[in-house]
Homo-oligomer: A and B are copies of this chain.
Amino acid sequence: MSEYASHDKNGVSVGVVEKKFFTFAEPPNEMVLESGARLGPITIAYETLGELNADKSNAILILHALSGDSHVAGYYNEGDEKPGWWDIMVGPGKGIDTNKYFVICSNILGSCMGTTGPSSIYPKTCKPYGFDFPMVTIGDMVAAQKELIDHLGINKILSVIGGSIGGMQVLEWFVKYPEMIASAIPLASSARHSALAIAFNEVARQSIMADPNWNNGDYYSGSKPDLGLAVARMIGHITYLSDEAMRQKFGRRLQDKKDFSFNFDADFQVESYLRYQGTKFVDRFDANSFLFITKAADYFDLGSSKGSRLAIESRENVDTKFLVVSFTSDWLYPTYQSKGLVKAMKKNSFDVSFCEIEADWGHDAFLLPNNRLSSLIKGFLDRIYYERAN
């Protein structure tokens, strides 16, 4: 099954990572969303690495965060400049070893990277959905992922792994389909958004909706709300870093000049960095997707009884094992939130390991090279895999 293999980081061709598509929920059998609305057809973009073994016991599902996609690792073509977004963790011999495991990563519902979202064509109008797209929840994203896993013929996933909003999906997988997952690794995540996290998301959304080009979500045939989306992304970037990370990375260093401009140019490197991140983002991401996904994250609440979500509670015949990881300088999903989750799990006699990793890089730490994190995940997966094989 060479189609599942990838190039390694040295450019040695060991196969090709290919974006694949799976479509379901064709009318009249649309998916019923948590809001009660119906959505269909739904196409899921996904990629796989490694090989599925004969008894289909080595599958790992990776769940991405806000702006991620299915391209988790490897290169599409030899000579590509950048590998997938978690290439430091996923690949031959890495923390999630594709020589050993079959890795699946799918683009989330509501996104704009191949899976159905507000920029997809609405069959009813033959135009992009825009704000005709229904509100989707973390639960809806996971229900769609479950359709893909069924389609791949996998009954039990060795591990579901994700950071940030990906971690919310990990927790939702346990709530919805505990019998289907042998283990779960939520990284830099939370059982629910704090008021602070909601506040940042809301201001970012307001920035997009304040851009006249946003036009109530109907902009696909004209100018896009690039300025509003860029500011939204800048707000996000501040929350992904930490005070300490910014001090180390930028401090008060000036950009390309020896003194202040005494005008509104980007004097400081941190200003220049943010402007660059904002501008770069609008080329690859859809403003409406930003709105829908951040709202889904704000709605997520593991302790709520709304929709299909249930509090973490004892379940019969469920043996899912957890590894919960937080990072010291993450102030978007601070350690105390992970600890609260772990406490609730332990109270219900779950098999849960917890680790707070020392890192200066804020919320983004889970995406950055970190030997501690790699070996932690590797060791945990090896234990789960070994226990299930014996």
Contact = CB atoms under 8 A, between A and B. Distances in A.
Given A199-B238, A243-B334, A260-B299, A210 B194 contact: no
Contacts of A227: 210
A245 to B, nearest CB: 9
Contact of A199 (B200, B202, B246, B264): B246
A195 interface: yes
Given A252-B193, A262-B35, A268 B198 contact: yes
A71 interface: no
A230 B235 CA distance: 15
A334 B227 CA distance: 31
B264 A209 contact: yes
B243 A264 contact: no
A268 B203 CA distance: 13
Interface stretch (A2-10, A271-279, A310-318): A271-279
A198 B231 CA distance: 15
* Chain A binding surface, main DSSP class: helix
B230 A274 contact: no
A233 to B, nearest CB: 10
A243 B194 contact: yes
A383 interface: no
Interface string A293-307: 001001101000010
A139 to B, nearest CB: 12
Nearest to A270: B195
Interface residues of A, number: 57
A196 interface: yes
Given A212-B212, A252-B193, A274 B243 contact: no
B202 A228 contact: no
The 3 closest A-B pairs by CB, nearest first: A210-B227, A195-B246, A35-B262
A249 interface: yes
Given A195-B268, A231-B231, A298-B268, A262 B135 contact: yes
A317 B282 CA distance: 58
B247 A195 contact: yes
A198 B252 contact: yes
A206 B230 contact: yes
Nearest to A239: B238
Among A207, A211, A291, the most chain B Cβ lie within 10 Å of the Cβ of A207
B271 A202 contact: yes
Contacts of A283: none
A334 B247 CA distance: 13
A363 to B, nearest CB: 13
A234 B235 CA distance: 11
A203 to B, nearest CB: 4
Nearest to A292: B264
Interface in A203-255: 203, 205-207, 209-212, 227-228, 230-231, 234-235, 238, 241, 243, 246-247, 249-252
